[in-house]
Structure 1
């Protein structure tokens, strides 16, 4: 019985949502405008890599992780000689990810949005 429980717990710990592929979202910004953003993800085990594409360009994600149905990663943006870090946390539900994006250090308002999987 104990073996079955341990095997079951190992399977739960090893399970990670399959978010590999492209996802698109309308990400809210300042003053109520939105920006179409495409996320391209690749998952290997619990490691998440990929890029974020906006009309302004493409940036890689870093520190990406997938744990069960939750994902997290960081985006670093260079603007006017300054670096800004944004922390993303998301919960996967089928073909949607409900995200919260927060600037590192808690600066600014956290933004919530939903990304939808693009057909492959």
Structure 2
């Protein structure tokens, strides 16, 4: 009986730790999109509510809202609307950094984001 109680307590702690990790995804994250000789500073603002991700991606050209955001484990997905075309984004949360990959018009991108200070 004690062994089952210990295992249950351990599982609850693991679930709480995983949930706390996603709470840390909340806030602003900065990085730079680099394509050939072009660099575009990006700021993502994430808001986590359960398994739903909302927020926006900000550039010097304006803000793009996060669409259809979902979280599962340390992975998350969402889309950005670029001139009427949805650009799927796939992210991985590492605690101190976040990596987002995407593809737009045949061009794959990979952006590492760090928490904004």
What secondary structure does 1:48 align onto? strand
Structure 2 gaps of 5+ residues are none
CA RMSD for the aligned pairs? 2.4
Structure 1 gaps of 5+ residues are none
What secondary structure does 1:8 align onto? helix
Distance 2:50 2:32 in 1: 28
Residue in structure 1 matched with residue 116 of structure 2 by the alignment = 118
Give the alignment's TM-score, normalised by structure 2: 0.79
Residue in structure 1 matched with residue 31 of structure 2 by the alignment = 25
Larger Rg: 2
> Within 5 Å, which residues of 2 pair with 1:1-120?
1=4, 4=7, 8=11, 11=15, 15=19, 17=22, 18-29=24-35, 31-78=36-83, 83-103=84-104, 107-119=105-117
- Across the two proteins, how many residue pairs are aligned to each other? 110
| Cα deviation 1:31-70 (Å, max 9, x = unaligned) | 4311001101100111000011101111101111121211
What secondary structure does 1:76 align onto? strand
Give the alignment's TM-score, normalised by structure 1: 0.77
Q: Of the two structures, which has the highest relative contact order with CA contacts closer than 8 Å and spacing of 6 or more? A: 1
What secondary structure does 1:42 align onto? strand
- Tell me the CA shift for residue 110 of structure 1: 1.0
The structure carrying a bigger helix percent of its residues is 2
